Structure 1
Amino acid sequence: MAQDISLYQQFNGRYDYLAIGNTMNLAENGTSAPCEIHTESSANLTLNDNQNVVAAYLYWAGSGAGDFNISLNNIDITTERTFSDAIDSNRIFFAAFADVTSIIIDQGSTEYTISNFDLTDVIAPYCPSGTNFGGWAITIIYEDSNLPLNQLNVYDGLQSVPEYLSITLDNLNVLDNENAKIGFVAWEGDRSIAVNEQLTINGSVISNYPLNPANNAFNGTNSFTGESNLYNMDIDVYSIQNHINIGDTTANIVLTSGQDFVMINNIITVLNSQLPDATITIDNDAMSCGDNQIEIFYTVYNSNSTAILPANTPIAFYYNDSLIGVSVTQNEIAINGSESSSISINLPDNLDSLVTIIAIVDDDGTMNGVVTESNENNNSAFKEIELLIIPETTILPDLIGCNEGFESSTYNLFEAIESLDFNEEDLSFYRSLEDLHLGDNSIIMPSHYYNVSNPETIYIKLISPPCYEIFQFNLNIENCPPYIPQGFSPNNDSKNDWFNIQGLYNIFTEHELQIFNRYGELIFYGNNDKPWNGEINRGLNNKGNIVPVGTYYYVLNLNDPKYRPKVGWVYVNY
């Protein structure tokens, strides 16, 4: 049922702390004590001018299941975290926590009163066994420019000390043991019971005689104020500068109570420990549509630290537990300093659109660090990134153009997407996918485009945030029916001087043209290389002459399986 004491918050810098509080008991509990309890009590806080409050934590505790709504100087307080412990099913206890930093900063040095803390209807079953109690304490962390660089750790939970409670502090780097201290808030201790009540650090018993004898650590006192009437609670602090050594990287704290049921609610350590504390954030990312390469923008911080973070501190980037990139810090990062940089990483193919990237500073790529830090558990950051995945290419129907000669034609490329809803400024046309993705060499005049091959594939990029869509279609050419004029005038005036059958020459390259006179005699035979300009090139007579004015019969064989021969009359005039 109890909650193990564990690190709640850490402060690195020129920090120290003090604590105030008071009991709700009228006297030390016991069989002869009155079975009554206060609903309010007060304590004075005195801060020096150079002590700037950075955090203030209110703890309150008592018998029973808990009163979690109280008042501090008439300001309503609701618990943010709760704790519980028990001797047996009939004797249960609670503790509560609230961050009251803003109140302490606002009101400063003054008297603080806890009220509306009412256990009156709760304590009766606890009185016969002397386990009725209630009390409160405020731990105040402050910054003072005159202090050395310290590491201040706030541990809390609710753990009973009927016999033995051990806590090991890791990640220390003690450079100076002067003014090193440890303190705690404890509940339900009895001054009259002093059976093996000890606090030891690194195997040495510590005390603060006469206020806190070595064998009676839990005796209703406040070491900060010298008070000795905090019935059934303790706010104690001890100097440990003679019990911890320069160079120590760990410290072992042991609390014992041979008879009395005591509950530890918080433990505070203040040590001159100079270490960096590397943290990282992923600030932004950049990528191209359809590209698995991402540029990650990140910042490494050395906040809440007491030493510089060295250059070349490694950084690793992971996706699905796989290492995808490594980097290092370029420079030393000062206390409370930072360094921003970026890295390009390549993700595997065939991913979902949403991926999670994890960045870990002080990681050599094997999940191992190389820098000793004040906090080894805050080195990572993650970010969900939406990849710019391009939808599958949409195939559109071919555009068919009439052969204008040598398998070329003119196209209005917009006709390929007439069925789509689009803004023309969001469209661009390309001859290759590579150009499309790069945005290079777009077709300048899509409304009047000459093909360069037959068939030719055209690609369309349609802007569709956050990315774009791709469409594809082919340009094909067919030989359209030629237009045959009804006549011409071969008089060399540069106007209509020859039998200009439009859509024939250099299109139906295998065609054959025969011209007959009115007597049915063949007078001209032509092909793709020889159009008819009115000259006679067949028959026994008149070869090389121009035909006289009149109507002539033509037979045009296109030699295209799609078309039958075309026949008709053409009039020649001068």
Structure 2
Amino acid sequence: MIGLTFPVLAQDISLFQQFNGRYDYTAIGNTMNTVENGTLGPCTILTSSSANLNLNSEQNIVAAYLYWAGSHTGDFDISLNNIDITAERTFSDALDSDRVFFAAFADVTSIVLEQGNTNYTISNFDLSADIAPYCPTGTNFGGWAITIIYEDSSLPLNQLNVYDGLQSVPDFLSITLDNLNVLDNENAKIGFVAWEGDRSIAINEQLTINGNVISNYPLNPANNAFNGTNSFTGATNLYNMDIDVYNIQNNISIGDTSATIALTSGQDFVMINNIITVLNSQLPDATITIDNNTVGCGDSTIEVFYTVHNTNSTDILPANTPIAFYSNSDLIGTSETQNTIAINASESNSIYLNLPEDIGPNVTITAIVDDDGTMNGVVTESNENNNSTFAEIELLIIPEITLLSNLIGCNEGFEISSYNLFDALRSLDYNEDDLAFYRSLDDLETETNAILMPSDYNNDSNPETIYARIVSAPCYEIFQFDLTIENCPPYIPQGFSPNNDTKNDWFNIQDVYDIFTEHELQIYNRYGELIFVGNNETPWDGTTNRGLNNIGNKVPVGTYYYILNLNDPNYKPFMGWVYVNY
């Protein structure tokens, strides 16, 4: 975190990159000025200059950042060792309305990794046509610097921060670095790339750390911090630019959680372009990613798969570091890391989250590591601002149930009928492989106890509700219909033969028995005499049970008159003739 004062048009110095591990840095660069600028100096400027990089074999390059700056509005296309470079970021500042300045940045890691220790030349950097208005006031300048971050296994675990922007120091500039955890101040350092400093102006030019003035005498006297030097090489001819680094181990203490840097300049107009801090600060850095999720059809419970990382760190992340999950601003679940997570390691897990029942189909899930569920952390980290992530999740919403027309079946006895359930779906276009029928919504949702023979199904009750599930992206559709029973008209045969041969031995009026349970059957002989009365328990088997004579005897071959009264308001009595033969 940085707090500072700055002029209009400047870009705040702010954290650009952080490296946690066995890291340190060096810097090379050169000026484009032929002499220190001034009212009596020549109004000329170079278009190329060089500097040499010479790292030890144990120092492995991990990043290289090129900064260049000068008078006027900017040249943002230059060359490094004949490789074209275009500015990736640009900065600007101004002394007044007539004197404006620029700075530029490019990541040249790939070039420096490929070429290694060699001479680096900046060319095609041409401000010749721009500096004339600046020369009379001694503000004409140009220069470049490459900051090289390297890893060395012999180094302690450090936190290296690269801050950049473009801020001038007309009077006072203050920067506060927070979230430090200094375990050892040995070899603690701070470095700068600054533009337009003048060796000849040494009026109240001071650099302080935690209120203590620091210097590298005789290269950087306490009262002339910005004097055209490179602390890494000892060069004193970097006219109007500075690549300086200071040891601050006696100005920051073990246990410090912050450091305040202040720069002053009583007269000289100086612009700070980058600041590098290297501190032995052993801290974890918890981050989290949401890797995947599982959503069930119509289910408001989702499974979220996540990974907690401790990548950009200098210490382990302790076990039981809390994790909180939110939907909008509502806490919907908590978890914690299971094990200690080593530097550059990670741990994956999953959690089931119950969403509100009335939530919409599109849900934003936010996961925050080192959050106890109240937006508060319990672990001190190197970066407290990278603990969260989010994922947009689409729930599989099932459409409302579609009601279909009932299927009506003829009562086959005891209010049971046979149905072809596919008949209910005749109006729909579907693939039979995507269809299943169920007796309950619970079975449908869990896809259990499907009806095995839907083309020949006997109802369990009257009425009975049936549910059909048809696969339909992104989930499925539900259709509902009832099976109902009606008493259909009976089929009355024209004759029968009660000869005990087990074939057609009784007057088998179909769709009557156990259906029209209150029916009455009357049989008359050809003389109009009532000879038999039957009901649901007494079908006619060709014998008589009425009249004065022959009760229980079989009737002779012949034609007999019947009256079938179903005792159903929907049907009138049926009358006709039936032939009895043996």
Q: TM-score, normalised by structure 2?
A: 0.96
RMSD: 1.3
Secondary structure of the 1:103 match is: helix
The within-5 A match list for 1:44-443 is: 44-443=52-451
Q: Residues 523-574 of structure 1: CA distance to partner in whole angstroms, max 9, x if unpaired?
A: 2211111111111122222221111111112222222222222222211111
Which residue in 1 is equivalent to 2:579?
571
Secondary structure of the 1:223 match is: coil
Deviation of 1:178 after TM superposition, in Å, equals: 1.1
Greater mean alpha carbon deviation, residues 443-452 or residues 66-75: 66-75
Q: CA separation in 2, counterparts of 1:562 and 1:138? A: 101
Match of 1:446 among 454, 472, 487: 454
Q: CA separation in 2, counterparts of 1:484 and 1:33? A: 129
Q: Which amino acid aligns with 2:474?
A: P
Q: CA separation in 1, counterparts of 2:164 and 2:318? A: 32
Secondary structure of the 1:127 match is: helix
Deviation of 1:71 after TM superposition, in Å, equals: 1.9
Deviation of 1:266 after TM superposition, in Å, equals: 0.5
Q: Which amino acid aligns with 1:38?
A: L
Secondary structure of the 1:434 match is: helix
Q: CA separation in 1, counterparts of 2:54 and 2:19? A: 21
Q: Residues 281-318 of structure 1: CA distance to partner in whole angstroms, max 9, x if unpaired?
A: 11121232111112222111111111111111111111
Q: Residues 65-120 of structure 1: CA distance to partner in whole angstroms, max 9, x if unpaired?
A: 22222222222222222211111221111111111111111111111122222222
Q: Residues 469-522 of structure 1: CA distance to partner in whole angstroms, max 9, x if unpaired?
A: 111111111111211111110111000001111111111112121222222222
Match of 2:29 among 10, 17, 21: 21
Q: Residues 1-38 of structure 1: CA distance to partner in whole angstroms, max 9, x if unpaired?
A: 11111111111100000111111222222212222222
Q: CA separation in 1, counterparts of 2:96 and 2:570? A: 102
Which residue in 1 is equivalent to 2:555?
547
Q: Which amino acid aligns with 1:303?
A: T
Secondary structure of the 1:17 match is: strand
Deviation of 1:211 after TM superposition, in Å, equals: 1.4
Secondary structure of the 1:276 match is: coil
Q: Which amino acid aligns with 2:154?
A: N
Q: Residues 314-358 of structure 1: CA distance to partner in whole angstroms, max 9, x if unpaired?
A: 111111111111111122111112121222221112212111111
* Structure 2 unpaired stretches of 5+: 1-8
* Paired-residue identity, %: 79
Q: CA separation in 2, counterparts of 1:44 and 1:564? A: 116
Greater mean alpha carbon deviation, residues 278-287 or residues 355-364: 278-287
Deviation of 1:53 after TM superposition, in Å, equals: 1.0
Q: Which amino acid aligns with 1:450?
A: N
Q: CA separation in 1, counterparts of 2:98 and 2:572? A: 109
Deviation of 1:270 after TM superposition, in Å, equals: 0.3
Greater mean alpha carbon deviation, residues 298-307 or residues 512-521: 512-521
Match of 1:7 among 11, 15, 22: 15
Q: Which amino acid aligns with 1:405?
A: G
Which residue in 1 is equivalent to 2:4?
none
Secondary structure of the 1:88 match is: coil
Q: Would you say 1:483 and 2:510 are equivalent positions?
A: no
Greater mean alpha carbon deviation, residues 321-330 or residues 141-150: 321-330
Which residue in 2 is equivalent to 1:38?
46
Q: CA separation in 1, counterparts of 2:107 and 2:360? A: 42
Q: Which amino acid aligns with 1:18?
A: T
Aligned length: 574
Q: Which amino acid aligns with 2:436?
A: S
* Structure 1 unpaired stretches of 5+: none
Q: CA separation in 2, counterparts of 1:399 and 1:30? A: 101
Deviation of 1:436 after TM superposition, in Å, equals: 1.2
Q: CA separation in 2, counterparts of 1:216 and 1:272? A: 28
Q: Which amino acid aligns with 2:186?
A: E
Deviation of 1:253 after TM superposition, in Å, equals: 0.7
Q: Residues 181-201 of structure 1: CA distance to partner in whole angstroms, max 9, x if unpaired?
A: 100111111111111111110
Q: CA separation in 2, counterparts of 1:18 and 1:419? A: 78
Q: CA separation in 2, counterparts of 1:258 and 1:205? A: 15
Which residue in 2 is equivalent to 1:499?
507
Deviation of 1:169 after TM superposition, in Å, equals: 1.1
Deviation of 1:362 after TM superposition, in Å, equals: 0.8
Q: CA separation in 1, counterparts of 2:74 and 2:424? A: 75
Secondary structure of the 1:220 match is: coil
Q: Would you say 1:538 and 2:546 are equivalent positions?
A: yes
Q: CA separation in 2, counterparts of 1:62 and 1:100? A: 19
